[in-house]
């Protein structure tokens, strides 16, 4: 199914914040990648992309600026693959030109899908990449798969994929600045020149790290968040320990409200821990986070978060405010919702592919642009890939994190990008 050229869609409630807050340092671009056991064939990759975009016509949208709101307009632009040549998570949205909001690149045996957060979230991007990799491998291995072409487990219609689920589930009457936010510890240090980010990835056995989390009767996300908090604490000066470490954890709202959308449908949960007032032992941090997660991850609390994101768009005053003034309000809202955190951790979860093509795939990974410090992780088959992105030259926190895992018997295979 394809969309008509004259169709347009207003941005979802989360996406509204991204255009006025994107800059060279924090591009609001994230990358999902798949590494195969074989070099990429560019011709087959382009054919695969052509097939994939037919399944995701909404992804051919371009971002336009109206009098009152940004909006997405369908286009007839054809996405073209490229050999990777730019630093990871470089800007995609260009205010002065009509361009697609994603790029597909390749390097050796790796397929990269980079996308501007206005268009989709991690779950939506993963569905697109799964289709792309699936199409590529089916075309590349026709002979082996001739009599056993696998089927992907995601068959949403084009309308379902383009659904704005915030509009479906939000209710009115929630105050945006309803909750008091704590003043978080901020990581300081020399930034990487030219707005580059440092990417450090660790691949660990998923069973080993899950077993460790289950020892504490906790989830993988809570366990990793606790390890991250303790790793940050080790680098805090004594005078800074009065402030809590605050980690923003994205919540996939599809787990609570049925939706097949590939647009943004997530919220954020800020979890904080004050090491000055509480124990610095990992097990105690985990126990504290367990209670915090259980308290916050209820349908009622998450419904409040949906309403928070919907407040600006539903407010009659902001709806009729010209965009250039609204941008100021959106920046302030973003500062309230996103800025007063120490770091972020996003667990995209398990990536599943049909058995018939899984043997050709080494791993999936995901990471995002940041002006601070961010962890993204996903698992495939027997391994979990943990990806740090950082705007800082220092890698001490990352070293603390992976050293904690090795100290408890979890092996880590580490790789990093090169900053010229």
Following DSSP, what letter does each residue of 316-368 receive, concatenated?
A: HHHHTS-HHHHHHHHHHHHIIIIIS-SEEEEEEEEE---HHHHTTEEEEEEEE
Last-in-domain residue among 151, 184, 216: 151
Domain with residue 303: its CATH number is: 3.30.559.30
pLDDT at 235 over 80: yes
266 shares its domain with 118: no
289 shares its domain with 231: yes
The three-class DSSP label of residue 85 is coil
Residue listed under structure tokens 């347009």: 8
pLDDT in tens, 326-372: 666 677 766 666 568 999 999 999 999 999 999 999 999 999 999 99
pLDDT in tens, 201-232: 999 999 999 999 999 999 999 999 999 999 99
**CA-CA distance, 33 to 106, in Å (whole number)?**
9
When pLDDT is averaged across residues 280-291 and rounded to a whole number, the result is: 97
SS (H, E, C) 283-308: HHHHHHHHHHHHHHCCHHHHHHHHHH
When pLDDT is averaged across residues 298-326 and rounded to a whole number, the result is: 70
307 shares its domain with 235: yes
In a domain, 178, yes or no: no
In a domain, 115, yes or no: yes
Last-in-domain residue among 121, 151, 181: 151
Residue 383's H or E segment, with its range, is strand 383-390
pLDDT at 181 over 80: no
In a domain, 169, yes or no: no
**CA-CA distance, 243 to 266, in Å (whole number)?**
27
The three-class DSSP label of residue 189 is coil
| Segment 170-176 long-range contacts (CB within 8 Å, at least 24 positions apart) | 170/13, 170/306, 170/307, 170/309, 170/310, 170/314, 171/303, 171/307, 172/307, 172/310, 172/314, 173/307, 174/304, 174/307, 174/308, 174/310, 174/311, 175/311, 176/308, 176/311, 176/312, 176/333, 176/336
| Segment 411-415 long-range contacts (CB within 8 Å, at least 24 positions apart) | 411/204, 411/205, 411/208, 412/202, 412/203, 412/204, 413/202, 413/203, 413/204, 414/200, 414/201, 414/202, 414/203, 415/200, 415/201
In a domain, 22, yes or no: yes
Last-in-domain residue among 88, 123, 151: 151
**CA-CA distance, 104 to 139, in Å (whole number)?**
17
pLDDT at 174 over 60: no
366 shares its domain with 269: yes
Say which residue, 311 or 399, is predicted with more confidence: 399
202 shares its domain with 310: yes
19 shares its domain with 110: yes
Q: For residue 4, what pLDDT is reported?
A: 43
147 shares its domain with 199: no
Domain count, the chain: 2
pLDDT at 418 over 90: no
Q: For residue 2, what pLDDT is reported?
A: 44
Residue 386 pairs with which residues in a beta bridge?
Answer: 202, 377
pTM for the predicted model, two decimal places: 0.93
139 shares its domain with 243: no
207 shares its domain with 121: no
Q: For residue 17, what pLDDT is reported?
A: 85
126 shares its domain with 256: no
Say which residue, 52 or 317, is predicted with more confidence: 52
**Which residues constitute the domain of residue 117?**
8-151
Domain with residue 39: its CATH number is: 3.30.559.10
Residues 6+ apart with CB under 8 A from 332: none
In a domain, 188, yes or no: no
245 shares its domain with 372: yes
């Amino acid at each position: 199914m394809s969309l008509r050229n004259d169709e347009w869609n207003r941005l979802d409630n989360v996406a509204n914040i991204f255009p006025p807050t994107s800059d060279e340092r924090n591009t609001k671009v994230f990358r999902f990648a798949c590494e195969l056991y074989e070099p990429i064939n560019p011709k087959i990759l382009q054919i695969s992309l052509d097939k994939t975009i037919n399944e995701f016509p909404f992804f051919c949208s371009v971002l336009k600026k109206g009098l009152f709101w940004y909006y997405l307009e369908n286009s007839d632009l054809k996405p073209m693959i490229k050999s990777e040549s730019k630093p990871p998570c470089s800007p995609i949205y260009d205010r002065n030109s009509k361009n697609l909001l994603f790029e597909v690149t390749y390097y050796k045996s790796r397929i990269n899908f980079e996308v501007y957060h206005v268009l989709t979230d991690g779950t939506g991007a993963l569905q697109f990449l799964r289709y792309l990799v699936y199409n590529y491998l089916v075309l590349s291995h026709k002979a082996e798969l001739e009599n056993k072409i696998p089927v992907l487990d995601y068959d949403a219609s084009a309308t379902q994929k383009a659904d704005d689920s915030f509009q479906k589930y939000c209710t009115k009457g929630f105050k945006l600045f309803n909750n008091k936010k704590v003043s978080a510890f901020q990581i300081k240090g020399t930034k990487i020149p030219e707005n580059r980010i440092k990417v450090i990835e660790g691949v660990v056995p998923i069973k080993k790290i899950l077993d460790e989390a289950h020892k504490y009767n906790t989830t993988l996300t809570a366990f990793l968040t606790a390890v991250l908090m303790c790793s940050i604490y080790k680098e805090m000066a004594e005078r800074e320990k009065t402030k809590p470490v605050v980690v923003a954890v994205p919540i996939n709202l599809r787990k609570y409200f049925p939706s097949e959308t590939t647009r943004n449908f997530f919220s954020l949960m800020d979890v904080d821990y004050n090491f000055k007032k509480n124990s610095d032992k990992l097990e105690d941090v985990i126990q504290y986070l367990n209670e915090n997660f259980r308290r916050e991850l209820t349908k009622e609390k998450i419904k409040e978060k949906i309403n928070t994101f919907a407040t600006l768009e539903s407010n009659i005053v902001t709806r009729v405010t010209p965009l250039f003034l609204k941008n100021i309000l959106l920046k302030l809202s973003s500062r309230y919702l996103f800025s007063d955190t120490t770091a972020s951790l996003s667990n995209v979860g398990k990536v599943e592919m049909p058995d018939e093509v899984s043997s050709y795939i080494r791993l999936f990974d995901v990471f995002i642009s940041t002006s601070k410090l961010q962890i993204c992780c996903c698992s495939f088959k027997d391994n979990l890939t943990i990806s740090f992105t950082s705007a800082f030259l220092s890698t001490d926190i990352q070293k603390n994190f992976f050293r904690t895992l090795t100290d408890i018997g979890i092996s880590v295979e580490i790789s990093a990008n090169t900053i010229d």
